[in-house]
A and B are shown apart, each in its own frame.
Chain A
Amino acid sequence: MGSTSRKLPLAMTQHADQTLSADKPRDRRPNAPHAVDRLVALYRTMARIRAFENAAEIASQGGVQAWGLSTAAKPALVRGPLHLSTGQEAVAAGVCANLTRDDLLTSTHRGHGHTLAKGADVNRMMAELFGRATGTNQGKGGSMHIADFSVGMLGANGVVAAGMPIAVGAAHALKIRDRTEIVACFFGDGAVNRGPFLEALNWAVVYHLPVLFVCEDNRISATTPTGPMTGGPGASARAESIGVPGAKVDGNDVEAIDAAAGRLVADVRGGAGPRFLHAVTYRFKGHVSVDPGAYRDKAEVAAAMEFDPLLVARRALADRGVAVGTMDAIDAAAKAEIDAALTQAESAPWPEPAAAYTDVQNTGAGQWR
């Protein structure tokens, strides 16, 4: 068995369901057409997400307090909560590689990766985390609400599963307006236990909408393992029972995600109706920036780190004959790009206090008390 075919240990999958058709075997030939270039590009996206979140995490030290914890006391450059997707980058990269700029996307509170992979500018993203006027949201949203409508990214969301009804509504509008774009709807494993999950999937089937549901299953709901909190065989079985077919993939294998997403996106674009991608991954960090995740089983985390999606991709690249130096250069370029974003963000202007009163509403806006 080649190193690239290593999978997450099944025991770590807390609700492994086998109800969906397994992926077809991928073309593992080292010189498969376009495979190397595409994998390099996927790796670059993941490396940029990792660099962005690592930098943001450091910049957030001393910021928000939660769980009775605080990090080192110093003035925080990123003062709000950061929900990091470290370890989950392959899902964002693999799915978004199959979307066009005009396709729409709804995200979760853990949305930096989706935003970046959809094509948002990292300088404006970092400025948003810093609360600056030049941020994607002019400093009004921060990490939890990061959005870039100019690339179809309709927003991270502070409420679990809340993006799902919005996603099907956007898809419904696209259908009514005879548009060819589709909607990708990201949500976590925790979302499958909220009502909007059922409602939105059902809605997408009833109206035969162009939406790809992406369950980014990191196997933990905030700080509680999702498995014991979830009845039945889990996310993809629920989707299939409602009539949304799909695929279940190793969420740390960006090639697997890319391949599955490619097929499902083609179905959706072809008018087949909604599809469901269940990507099983693992969150390396705590729920939120200040949370060290001390409640996690250290052996489980260590085992999972062996399947860091960036390492998995590096192994695959090495198998294809890509030099380590090429991968290191990608990492270095990502770090340099994010360092520049940090510098820009730190010197960017703050919003004027008067901006607190803008973009509230057309009728009845003002400084009312």
Chain B
Amino acid sequence: MNYSQAAAAALSEAMEADPGVIALGEDLGRGGIFAQYRGLQQKFGADRVIDTPISESTIMGAAVGMALAGLRPVVEMRVVDFALCAMDELVNQAAKNRFMFGGQGRVPLVVRMPIGLWTASAAQHSQSLEAWFAHIPGLVVAAPAAPDDNYGLLASALASGDPVVYMEHKELWAVEGEVVPGTRVPLGLARRLAAGGDVTIASWSKTVPTCVAAATELEAQGIRADVIDLRTLWPWDREMVLGSAARTGHLLVVHEAVQVAGFGAEIAAAAAEATGCRIRRLGAPRIPSGYSKPLEDESRVTVGGVVAAATTLLRR
């Protein structure tokens, strides 16, 4: 099952289990632009898998009203870049509602906004803005890297009762992997993909497989890396990451987002405060993503880049 099918399966099961779960967004009836809704409108009808106008503010804002009135909406923003048209509705409305009204209401919704570089899609379809949302009290932020996590995290997000910013990656949809039906992945729990005592490499989303490949190369050089996929950015698994960093004494945080003020900075600072370990970050330079391959490649995190960052960190 691939990453896209895994998400469709999780949503389908949630919709079967709870008639209050609905989905809304542009082009969902045709399966969504990444096929992550394929077959759902045919199965559940157009009243529950709702094709909407291109009205991001109201897609998001209506989902808040739907949640307050007893539904559990899954909101599709198409790509994170378009979610910027719905920032008031997400940040001022969905995230604040429960607190500012004194707990009178709940806003259980999942808003899907795929992040990341998407080959040759240039500056407005390629961003990774997870740090923006991790910064907002009231929101949960998830960023699965593999099909089983996309299945299990989406199920947990739907069950959480919170507004969850759910960030799939635009270039992971075709990734295949085994999915065990009925397996939920708890929010806030990281996953260790390689065990090693020399350096901790923490990452999420599409740079996770990059880091795993880098760990294999590092091992050939005699460097054993502890590779951790955060899976959830808020809350993030401090116990696993800080515990590992304390053991290895070296933490490398890798993400596809612009490195400056990225969520890696938060992890790095927390690790420095808690463990005093040596730290290095690797993200994109602070440039918009370019269209042409040589320009776009400047924004990409590569296996070689991770290996170089790790060896530099250990050499210092």
Contact = CB atoms under 8 A, between A and B. Distances in A.
Contacts of B196: none
Nearest to A133: B102
A140 B100 contact: yes
B302 interface: no
Contact of A149 (B66, B93, B105, B163): B105
A42 interface: no
A203 B98 contact: no
A313 interface: no
A162 B86 CA distance: 11
Interface stretch (B2-10, B122-130, B136-144, B198-206): B136-144
B167 to A, nearest CB: 15
B88 A362 contact: no
Interface of A: 104, 106, 135-141, 145, 147-150, 154-155, 157-159, 162, 164-174, 176-177, 183, 195-196, 199-200, 202-203, 206, 358-364
- Rank and list the top 9 A-B pairs by shortest CB-CB distance, nearest first: A165-B61, A169-B65, A169-B62, A137-B102, A364-B235, A173-B69, A138-B102, A170-B65, A359-B103
B234 interface: yes
Nearest to B104: A149
A166 B58 CA distance: 8
8 contacts: A141-B101, A154-B68, A165-B65, A167-B65, A168-B61, A170-B69, A176-B48, A361-B138
A176 B93 contact: no
Contacts of B138: 360-361
A364 B188 contact: yes
B55 A199 contact: yes
Contact of B70 (A173, A200, A206): A173
Given A172-B65, A174-B69, A362-B162, A147 B101 contact: yes
Contacts, number: 153
Nearest to A181: B69
Nearest to A198: B55
B140 A363 contact: yes
Interface in B38-64: 47-48, 52-53, 55, 57-58, 60-64
Contacts of B132: none
A135 B103 CA distance: 12
A162 B101 CA distance: 15
A363 B188 contact: yes
A174 B68 CA distance: 10
Interface in B239-272: none
B22 interface: yes
A173 B66 contact: yes
A360 B99 contact: yes
Interface residues of B, number: 46
B58 A145 contact: no
Interface in B74-112: 88-89, 92-93, 97-105
Contacts of B187: 363-364
B102 A141 contact: yes
Nearest to B20: A177
A203 B55 contact: yes
Interface in B147-178: 160-163
| Centre residue among A158, A162, A172 by max chain B CB count within 10 A | A172
Nearest to A160: B88
Nearest to B92: A159
A102 B182 CA distance: 38
A145 B140 CA distance: 23
A155 B97 contact: yes
Given A168-B62, A203-B62, A362 B160 contact: yes
B58 to A, nearest CB: 4
A172 B93 CA distance: 17
| Centre residue among B69, B71, B160 by max chain A CB count within 10 A | B69
A87 B299 CA distance: 57
Contact of A203 (B53, B105, B188, B235): B53
B68 A166 contact: yes
Given A203-B55, A364-B188, A138 B103 contact: yes
A148 B62 CA distance: 19
B61 A169 contact: yes
Given A177-B71, A359-B102, A169 B63 contact: yes
B196 to A, nearest CB: 28
B104 A137 contact: yes
Given A200-B61, A203-B62, 8 more contacts: A136-B102, A137-B104, A165-B61, A169-B66, A202-B58, A359-B102, A361-B163, A364-B235
Contacts of A157: 93
Contact of A196 (B58, B139, B234, B235): B58
Contacts of B62: 165-166, 168-169, 172, 200, 203
A136 B46 CA distance: 38
Nearest to B65: A169
Contacts of A168: 58, 61-62, 65
A316 B53 CA distance: 46
A155 to B, nearest CB: 6
A25 to B, nearest CB: 37
| Centre residue among A145, A174, A176, A358 by max chain B CB count within 10 A | A176
A174 B65 CA distance: 10
B142 to A, nearest CB: 10
Nearest to A138: B102
Contacts of B102: 135-141, 147, 359
Nearest to B64: A166
